[in-house]
Chains A and B, each alone.
Chain A
Amino acid sequence: VVLVGRRAGLLLAVLLLAKPTAPFPIQESPPSVPTAVLRGRVDFRREPRPPTRRAGISDLGMPAPRDVPDQRQAIVYLETAPRAAFEEREGARVTLDQKNENFAPHVLAITTGTVVDFRNDDRTYHNVFSLSKTKPFDLGRYAAGETKSVRFDRPGVVRVFCEIHSHMSAFIVVFAHRYFALTNAEGEYRIEGIPPGAYTVSVWHSVLATESKPIRIGDGGGEVEVDFSLS
């Protein structure tokens, strides 16, 4: 499972770092050109299982109840995008919460330059860290009510853990452009404002294999529907 995730992460990082002109060149579109909406649904042929809690063999009693992360979230994204999209720096700020020994959300999709606030909403210490090459960091131990922040400037997949609670993990997927969307509870996604051109649309999931499909957005814009089924 880890290998699949790691491989997918590397693939994504390579693709996102690629210049916007390869492998499907996309021309800069003037604002007046109609854009398209890409939408669809991601289904699962097998249910992704949440990370298990360790046996806790040396504990003196039952472990505290925890929230189990929703493993069904996936990210659909364009592997190439208009050059201008790579120059956008929104400087957004989002929160990755730690509550009931769980990171919420389990998957976070952001653009480069975004600052993520890691808020501890639990009663115990947490120690958020990542050893990913994209953004290694370690926030140390901090208590309930405190927030520590990290800015993500490089695209790629950052797997986040808690040093104290080994069953806690989350994924931060950093994109160099804004053409991506996280699936909702029904597995649906929607990416707006895509200029005409030929693209490859891919889906990323934390434990299941990735999938890619070519699409073409016509000059008239409109809606394009692409569904995925992951196993």
Chain B
Amino acid sequence: MGQSPRPAAGRRRGRPSAGAGLRSFGSASPPLIRSRSRCAWALLALLAPIGRAHAQAPEASREARLTFNGEAFASVASDDPGFFNYANYERSTLSIARLNLDVSLRLGPRAAFLAEARGDNGDGISISALYLRVRVLEKTPLDLQVGRIPPVFGAFGRRTYGADNPLIGVPLGYQYLTIIRPDALPASADDLLLARGGGWLVSYPLGSQADSHGLPLVAGDRWDTGIQMHLGGPKASLALALTQGTLSNPLVRDDNGGKQLVGRAETRPSAAWIIGFSAARGEFLSRSAKAALPPGTRGGPFTQSALGIDAEYSRGYWVLRAEGIMSEWRLPMIAGPFVAGPLRAYAGCLEGRYKIRPGLYAAARVDRLGFSSITGTLFGGQPTSWDAPVTRVEVGGGYFLRRDILLKAVYQHNWRDTTFSPSLGIVSAQALWWF
């Protein structure tokens, strides 16, 4: 809050490249952040006149130039031996302490620089968002965002913050680790069936030999890097983005030379309804994994494609949300039994929240994650889903001690079509402060 001269922001900008305990989120590397940061500031310099030309607008002059806000929360949960809620092999989304600090530097009514620093479980700070936002034309609602940008696809990806999530868990489509890896490949259908239901730690014969976790359909806690355009007003809008990674594997540095195109159309036929349609397609397989393929099988394209639909209805004390995602990965197979066609996954969830009285609400979410079938020599040679389908029900509620302090408690039950941990109930609690 309050005024701050640009040099201060410049010092803050310099921190990621200083290597003083900062690291980019996910697979990014500090030098890349540095080069992106330089690009962003070069753009800022070019766009400075946009800010100056309108700096005296009465509306803008009363808005703060520099704002800080964020949230801090701590969640605890009973054991999750089935890794149902893990975002990687080490970190459960139900048992985590997180600090998000958001910064917005307004460069005038038509440009702003935004960044978010994130710390999980005290393991250093990462830059989870870093981008420039520009209103291209003064009277047309056309905006560009460049850098590490918010996700265009779907609805939940932009409300993963604790204060926006009425429960503690994350929908399966945005969190549950499938057995797909971008850097390691199954040679045959049997390799997939062997790994089935164990996405938290997967290994394959091709590509990286290290054990590592698989990927969700859409990575809910990592943002991609690229350029995004948003056009529209309160009734309808369209967003398109060109990014380095894919939905399941957002990146700062492109690892395969291919880009992802992702789009979303949203309509608000009335104040009560928000309906969105999303689509994405991008090169998925990493360069190193592709290099491990025998000659003649590297052709590709090895992509992730996805379609999404989401809807929100709210009225009075009710908010109801539904979201569906269909994702498919095209992977090479070099040995039999072969997989015919892409590997598909389907995620759907239905969420509701009801306010019981001021400061107290109840919420529930029903989730389902399913997979297409493949046929190998395992499972009696019968068609079997390539990963184990999961069903989840989460019920709970929240109580606001103050407007900015929220306590949540949930019970979550998971069912999975495997012999290892086929059914598991978990209780979790969270204390959250936003500022």
A interface residues (Cβ-Cβ under 8 A, vs B)? 49-50, 52-62, 64-65, 68, 123-125, 129-131, 136-138, 140-144, 161
Contacts and interface: CB of A to CB of B under 8 A. Distances in A.
Nearest to B133: A62
B11 interface: no
Contacts of A54: 67, 69, 102
B133 A136 contact: no
Contacts of A65: 59
B359 A131 contact: yes
Contacts of A140: 315-317, 355
Given A49-B64, A125-B272, 19 more contacts: A49-B2, A54-B69, A55-B67, A56-B104, A57-B115, A57-B150, A58-B159, A60-B230, A61-B135, A61-B237, A62-B141, A64-B234, A130-B358, A131-B400, A131-B402, A136-B358, A138-B317, A138-B357, A143-B271
Interface centre among B112, B135, B319, B358 (most CB of A within 10 A): B358
Nearest to B157: A58
Contacts of B270: 143
B143 A61 contact: yes
B250 to A, nearest CB: 14
Dominant secondary structure at the A interface: loop
B63 interface: yes
B145 interface: yes
Interface string B156-168: 0011010000000
Range of interface residues on B (Cβ < 8 Å) = 35 or more
B243 to A, nearest CB: 13
A50 B59 CA distance: 12
Interface centre among A49, A60, A131, A142 (most CB of B within 10 A): A60
A144 B235 CA distance: 14
Interface centre among B264, B355, B400 (most CB of A within 10 A): B355
Contacts of A138: 317, 355, 357-359
21 contacts: A50-B62, A57-B150, A58-B158, A58-B159, A59-B158, A60-B145, A60-B150, A60-B152, A60-B228, A60-B237, A61-B145, A62-B112, A62-B133, A65-B59, A123-B234, A125-B272, A131-B400, A138-B355, A140-B316, A141-B316, A144-B271
A52 B1 contact: yes
A53 B63 contact: yes
Interface in B70-97: none
Contacts of B63: 50, 52-53, 68
Contacts of A60: 143, 145, 150, 152, 158, 228, 230, 237, 239, 264
A133 to B, nearest CB: 11
Contact of A57 (B1, B114, B141): B114
Given A49-B64, A123-B234, A143 B103 contact: no
Contacts of B237: 60-61
Interface in B295-334: 314-317, 319
B15 to A, nearest CB: 17
Contact of B358 (A52, A137, A144): A137
Given A49-B2, A53-B67, A123-B234, A62 B143 contact: yes
A137 B355 CA distance: 11
B129 interface: yes
A113 B161 CA distance: 40
A124 B270 CA distance: 9
Given A131-B400, A161-B403, A141 B103 contact: no
B116 interface: yes
Contact of B104 (A55, A124, A136): A55
A138 B318 CA distance: 12
A140 B69 CA distance: 25
A206 to B, nearest CB: 15
Interface string B107-146: 0001010111000000000000100010100000101010
